[in-house]
Structure 1
Amino acid sequence: MDQVPGSPKEPQDARDDDGLPGCHRHPDRPSGIRCTRCDRPICPECMVSASVGFQCPECVRGGAGTGHAPQAAAPRTIAGGTIAADPRLITKILLGLNAAVFVAVLATGGELSPLVHRLDLLGLDADPSRHQLIGVAEGEWYRLLTAMFLHQQIAHFAFNMLSLWWLGPPLEAALGRLRFIALYVLAGLGGSALSYLLAAPGQPSLGASGAIFGLLGATAVLLRRLNYDMKPVLILLGINLAFTFLWPNIAWQAHVGGLVVGAAVAFGMVHAPRDRRTLVHAATCAVAFLAVIAVVWVRTLQLVG
């Protein structure tokens, strides 16, 4: 649970093993970034983008209209999003959607569920000699999206949802809700597209793993942008990639596709120039979406030909 802001001096004394002070509003979160006005440590959830550096929410509220800082309609995150009262709302909604679909799959037959067969098939018929187009190859592009919310095994579902709950809130707080949604969806589509391009024809591919790896890549980009210690996230990324390529029956294409797209989109969001931020964000998302369309189009032409 978030803690009530204390006095400026208390968090200054709270330090982690690396000597970083704790955020003055969330003392359990070490931070190397300080408010440019009061010099108190602030975590990504508390950062408000200013003309120079970042400010804490208290300084933004206290300085608006006083002549000491530009008046702002609302505080902004590092990526330019509006700071929300509940920085976990979209993460909770995504968890709820995944859980609802998972329950529906179990209720309609588990691995034999008609939901799975209607929503996750990507290429040709399982017997390529019949050359019968199914799924995305037949024009059902919506499967690239719906496959992101399908899980068959409890362990698969639980691992992805635990990862979403761990990675989602900090990114949602740092990017803002709309940008977080765009990042999640584009990363998931990137994973589906690469699976469609490289996997064997007719091979089903499902799960939120592509989107989750996109969040992992985005977390690495955000930490690098904030000059945080990169070792923990790089170790985590290395372990996950090792499992991706060594564990059987894992669609590594979805993991790699989601990771690349998520990192690329996050890079455009957190490094965009302040005066052209909205334009750069829109262009970044558009390019990522067009890349997904291009990959799917090329693969479909290969299958049809």
Structure 2
Amino acid sequence: MTTQPDHPNPADRPEGPGRPDPNTSDALPMCYRHPDRETYVRCQRCDRSICPDCMRAASVGHQCPECVREGNRTVRRAEAAFGGRPVTTPVVTWALLAINVLAYLGEVINAPAVLGRFMMSADHVAAGEWWRLFTSAFLHAEPPSYWHILFNMWALFAIGPQLEKILGSLRFAAVYLLSALGGSMAVYLFGSYAVGASGAIYGLFGAMFVISRRMGYDVRGVLWLIGINVVLTFVVPGISWQGHLGGLVAGAVVTGLFAYAPARSRKAFQLATVAGMLLVYLAILMAVPPLAA
């Protein structure tokens, strides 16, 4: 006796034309994260089926999200020479340039008010106006004099990006600001008043010297740069030698501690360096009156 098949026409099968029965070993491969999505692509690491939304490009083929996350845990993140994330765009340098220019525009609008409130003054700092130690590093000689800010911003533009890429953005910012404070602290102790980013710029000169020594570069060019600027500090009238030399020493010390930090505890050591310098500045302010007063 001849029997008729249940579905004489393949097109009449529930699975559709030419599609295997999902209840057999020939079941369609479905994405492991999206069981309703058919796919014929498998993860190169775990061999699970993955749909286009779950595919992550790998060096060969594709991987699933879980394998990508697991792989990232074992990949060492790139770092700058002395720790921190590698820098492609020197955002701190551009931000410092912008702040200095904006502060100078404030001086153009009302120099007496801006300088009277924010310039470095040893007597005012001793009276409790500590913010002047910081704000004075973003002010410059009263308009219409432009040479002061032009020289400082040119120096920051010339050496800032390279130093930021070597140190990393956070460490570069720390060197710059601690150098600025170092210059203001020297003015507090041995001077009377000052304005300008020169303390911070000289700190970057000191940082260049330390980094060149640490990385095995020829330091003669840096020594010439520092030597010429130190001579100008004492030859050109009206320049605060305290701010310049204070910033130079502070920048060299901070960068030296950053560059020679123990590899195993580099981040902790560098953080302790920043905290230690701030504590030293605070202790001097609390215990020592202005020596030139």
**So what's the TM-score if we normalise by structure 1?**
0.68
CA distance in 2, matches of 1:223, 1:121: 32
Distance 1:107 1:301 in 2: 32
- Cα drift, residue 76 of structure 1: 0.2
Distance in 1 (alpha carbons) for counterparts of 2:235 and 2:284 = 26
- The answer for the alignment partner of 2:265 in structure 1 is 276
CA deviation profile, 1:210-256 (whole Å, cap 9, x unmatched): 00000000011001111111111000000000001121111100111
Aligned length, in residue pairs? 221
Counterpart in 2 of 1:139? 128
Task: Return the letter of the residue paired with 2:210.
Answer: V
Q: Mapping of 1:1-305 within 5 angstroms?
A: 71-72=74-75, 74-86=77-89, 88-109=90-111, 113-124=112-123, 135-152=124-141, 153-199=145-191, 203-300=192-289
- Matching residue's letter, 1:143: R
- Higher deviation after alignment, 115-124 or 270-279: 115-124
Q: CA deviation at 1:294?
A: 2.5
**In the TM superposition, what is the alpha-carbon distance from 1:286 to its structure 2 partner?**
1.8
CA–CA separation in structure 2 for the residues paired with 1:301 and 1:269: 30
Deviation at 1:89, TM superposition (A): 1.0
How far the C-alpha of 1:182 sits from its partner, in A, is: 0.8
| DSSP-derived class of the 1:75 partner | coil
Identity of aligned residues (%): 38
Deviations 1:36-73 (A, max 9, x none): xxxxxxxxxxxxxxxxxxxxxxxxxx9xx9xxxx9435
Shift of the alpha carbon at 1:301?
7.4
Judge conservation of contact 2:80–2:87 (CA < 8 Å) in 1.
no
Matched letter for residue 252 of structure 1: W
Tell me the distance in 2 between the aligned counterparts of 1:159 and 1:301: 29
> What value does the CA root-mean-square deviation take over the aligned residues?
2.1
| Structure 1 alignment gaps of length 5 or more | 1-61, 125-134
Spell out structure 1 runs of 4+ moving beyond 3 A: 70-73, 298-304
2: CA distance between counterparts of 1:288 and 1:166?
27
- Aligned AA for 2:79? R
Give the aligned partner of residue 5 of structure 1.
Answer: none
User: How much has 1:167 moved relative to structure 2?
Assistant: 1.5
Looking at structure 2, the residues matched to 102 and 174 of structure 1 have their Cα atoms a distance apart, in angstroms, of: 29
Whether the aligned pair in 2 keeps the contact of 1:210 and 1:258 (CA below 8 Å) is: yes
Query: What secondary structure does 1:108 align onto?
Result: helix
CA contact (8 A) 1:194 1:295 kept: no
SS of the equivalent of 1:160 reads helix
1:123 and 1:98 mapped to 2: Cα distance? 22
Larger radius of gyration: 2
- What amino acid is aligned across from residue 81 of structure 1 in structure 2? G
- Match for 1:204: what amino acid? Y
Deviation at residue 274 of structure 1 after TM alignment: 1.3
Q: Is the 8 A contact 1:196 1:299 kept in 2?
A: no
- Structure 1 stretch 89-98 or stretch 266-275: which is displaced more? 266-275
Secondary structure of the equivalent of 2:88? coil
- AA in 2 matched with 1:175: L
2:54 counterpart residue number: none
Q: Retained in 1: the 8 A contact 2:207–2:255? A: yes
Change (3 A) 1:248 1:302: closer
Q: TM-score, normalised by structure 2?
A: 0.71
Residues 243 and 301 (structure 1 numbering): CA distance in 2 closer, same or farther, change over 3 Å?
closer
- Matched to 1:114, the amino acid is A
CA contact (8 A) 1:74 1:83 kept: no
